[in-house]
Chains A and B, each alone.
Chain A
């Protein structure tokens, strides 16, 4: 009978689609886990294991479905479509909000796996009365494995590069619900609760289509083009665009597209930022960090056990919360932002300095580069004068000052500005592979002098010997006769723009 034949062809086609979807969800979960958590071998292996095991659980429970099999199958397709379809989106969105991200990940993998595991046994039960057993087994598994092959080929070659993970998972969710709708339509006379199931299938399909359309908004994959690495987090706070990327074990933070650190070599940058001012103060106890919401400078400060307190003033709560709350990122800064000695103040540094505070022994200034008028104000003589309100004659300040190699005029303009406001300065620079040659200026109201105290243990690049070299500036990192940077000239922003123009 023709209609019977087309019916079982349809069911076998469903097997094919289901199999493709099932493997895609598995691949999405595995890829996501290795993006977000790193260590791809472990992630992939455990995700696949958990997924297959859950499929087994699903297969086991299939025995309890004895009546209304077609309805249950449709029900199941809708559910798989929903759970699998939104899984990638859910994981991306939860990444920075959930302390134990791993648990959420494996729960979701387990749920998807269980549901997928139910599919084939259920379908075989439906087909068993319509086909010869031998034919059925052979055909079902053939389509199953062809689907798996197709999935494994198009996933890395087409889907990830073209759609990205979020759209891929929405797309295959839609395929699952499409199977539900087609089967529902074709077998509407045999299916119980057809009306209810139709409404449900349409609703879920609508949701997934919306997700597919708006996933670009939820996470701007267009940005991927600007970065060589996979974006694992991106959010627009009211202040800036915060993007985290990972490539193998290298995690990078970008603010408004500018690299803030690479986890591979940030220790070089932060050791050179923090330890020189610490060794130029006789007894640093009260430390102020302006900027540095990633907690990496604070991590270096906390190597000194006699520190009493650290005040960290960073504009953007989105950054301090991300680096305080997320386990993976807290691993980078040794949970410095959770240290009881550290107090976070989320406000504008300029405004903060305008209200009275107790003086600080060491001030570490880790602002973004002066790439615009707004941040340029934090490098002006007015700011440095204000800064002196929280200093004593003993206090030591250090400022990250862009690259003296790429932008020597900018670097020495900051030096000139500090000197103009009464600082005695001690400029130095350090090589940070991901940044290039990087500059710092230490300042104090009297000539900074090394107090000779022992440096803390565990430093990987900074030492007194390396510091001696850092202080030497070859001719290609020098510039002379530079203006003082002021609110009413923003000389530094103009210099910075010109000098970096050729490099970016």
Chain B
């Protein structure tokens, strides 16, 4: 349990200076409702603590997909499109979607997790095929994909609050000293060099899926040091640049430059080469419900073959079959699924335990808070209106996205939802996770409001509710050594599928891992 001192220390760490206990007016947030939501940690922990019941029935299937996140759903899609319809998908939660979960009210949908997809790289035809199938890619013009313009992020896309004003874009640009400016330019130019770089065999230095990246030591050696050490080595010392790179790493990995490898840090900037006939290369695809939109398209392939509320708690092989023991905590029914193949579409820290193994030490996961803040009105700011992505410089949270940005409706909404993203990387993951789960709703409200108030001093009176979603194991962290450490094999007919295998928790990796596992089942 928490001691009072530990509690205050943790709060202070999370707030990172944006919170001064006792300074605010007492009761200033009493009107703010909402609750703490989150993945079924309790159900998950049953698994950790060992669950064993004797199965009441046996089901036979071709492929069992255990886990209905993006990897599992993508595996199911791949199986179906390959003509393999004999499969079942078991999902612990009441609904599939994993990190791309979304919610909604009568006014708008909003994300609880992942919320955008950058333009796919030109070689990533598998992903483009999926986008075509979903109606999000409309065709090609002179070889370049034409994306659905209702889904491309609308202008103005991003803004940054720094030195008392909002500026366009997230890269600090306004008010930099000439030296800071030059360093920023040099860094971005260097990243462009990495983006263009290929090894002798013609592989891109950095690619998405990460597995297709070059294995050449000149690039792979970057896995040996942290991003911070690399910045230091290359003479990047200016504060705005360090903040920007740290911000990007925390955004994609839930961990900053002190934690992630230089390989991963550079991958963020150098692996995206997507282009579009009708948008800038920096464009992204996004929707009010975030990647919930992509999940909605994926789900159609496994719609009637999904068992929700079902934990797969033990998997073993026997001859040419895989035996998976499941527990449905809704019907309180135990069953055994006998399959030709099993795809463990779940992170290693769960999957290895199901196999009776121990996960490799390189698999560490960042806890996150995603808070949906419901507002009566949007804050009105000088310089720039609320954009899609709104970042406040130097904060512990990553800022917020505005769900209703992607609407063409001019009728003013009666309520608005902004989603605050906050990697809880101020302590080691296990410690931070344990403490985060002990904080009360009112603690989170105060923390979230303190973050928002830095850019919007009077926002509290506009806020009606804050719904906090805590992702205990939100993202795999690509720490030094991750990319160069071998992942142990699996029993025959058992295949892992999860973005943590790539070390990078993004939709493209989960999609790729799902498809790869499906293809291994198909032989």
Contact = CB atoms under 8 A, between A and B. Distances in A.
Contacts of B153: 488
Nearest to B406: A487
Contact of B409 (A351, A372, A488, A489): A351
A347 to B, nearest CB: 7
A381 interface: yes
Contacts of B152: 486-488
A347 B149 CA distance: 22
Contact of A490 (B156, B279, B283, B409): B156
B408 to A, nearest CB: 4
Contact of B279 (A347, A378, A382, A488): A488
A315 B411 CA distance: 7
A327 B408 CA distance: 35
A350 B155 contact: no
B173 interface: no
A124 B186 CA distance: 93
B155 A373 contact: yes
A87 B238 CA distance: 67
B138 to A, nearest CB: 10
Interface in B393-427: 408-412
B207 to A, nearest CB: 25
Contact of B154 (A315, A350, A490): A490
B408 A487 contact: yes
A373 B409 contact: no
Nearest to A350: B408
B278 interface: yes
Interface residues of A, number: 23
Q: How large is the interface on B (under 10, 10 to 19, 20 to 34, 35 or more residues)?
A: 10 to 19
Interface in B142-167: 149-150, 152-157
Nearest to B147: A488
A487 B411 contact: no
B385 interface: yes
A350 B409 contact: yes
B116 to A, nearest CB: 13
A488 B408 contact: no
B410 A488 contact: no
A377 interface: yes
Given A239-B412, A348-B409, A489 B150 contact: no
B149 A373 contact: no
A373 B155 CA distance: 8
B410 A489 contact: no
A373 B385 CA distance: 9
Contact of A487 (B155, B385, B409): B155
Contacts of B280: 488-489
A347 B408 CA distance: 12
A161 interface: no
A238 B155 CA distance: 23
Contacts of A490: 154-156
Contacts of A489: 155, 279-280
A381 B149 contact: yes
Contact of B411 (A347, A373, A375): A347
A499 B409 CA distance: 26
Given A373-B155, A373-B156, A486 B149 contact: yes
Contacts of B150: 382, 487
B409 A382 contact: no
A3 interface: no
Nearest to A381: B149
A347 B280 CA distance: 32
Contact of B410 (A374, A380, A487, A493): A374
A373 B157 CA distance: 11
Interface in A91-148: none
Interface string A387-426: 0000000000000000000000000000000000000000
Interface in A333-377: 347-348, 350-351, 372-375, 377
Nearest to A494: B155
Contacts of A377: 154, 408, 410
Nearest to B384: A373
B385 A351 contact: no
Contact of A486 (B157, B278, B408): B278
A430 to B, nearest CB: 27
Residue picked from A350, A380, A382, A487, most chain B C-beta under 10 Å: A487
Nearest to A315: B410
A377 B405 CA distance: 12
A501 to B, nearest CB: 15
Interface in B266-316: 278-280, 283
B410 A350 contact: yes
B154 A487 contact: yes
A404 B447 CA distance: 51
Interface string B87-116: 000000000000000000000000000000
A70 B474 CA distance: 83
A195 to B, nearest CB: 43
B391 to A, nearest CB: 19
Nearest to A485: B155
Interface string A453-473: 000000000000000000000
A22 B279 CA distance: 69
B412 A487 contact: no
A367 B459 CA distance: 32
Contacts of A375: 410
Contacts of B408: 348, 350-351, 377, 382-383, 487
Nearest to A380: B149
Contacts of A380: 149
A372 B386 CA distance: 12
A348 B385 CA distance: 20
A373 B378 CA distance: 15
Contacts of A378: 410
A239 B283 contact: no
A375 B155 CA distance: 12
A374 B156 CA distance: 11
A238 B410 CA distance: 11
Interface in B39-86: none
Nearest to A372: B385
Contacts of A351: 408-409, 411
Contacts of B155: 373, 487-490, 493
Contacts of B385: 372-373
A77 B163 CA distance: 60
Interface of B: 149-150, 152-157, 278-280, 283, 385, 408-412
21 contacts: A239-B410, A239-B411, A315-B411, A347-B411, A351-B409, A351-B411, A373-B155, A374-B410, A375-B410, A377-B410, A378-B410, A382-B150, A486-B279, A487-B152, A488-B149, A488-B154, A488-B155, A488-B157, A488-B280, A489-B155, A493-B155
Given A315-B410, A486-B152, A488-B278, 8 more contacts: A239-B412, A347-B411, A348-B411, A351-B409, A378-B410, A382-B408, A488-B154, A490-B155
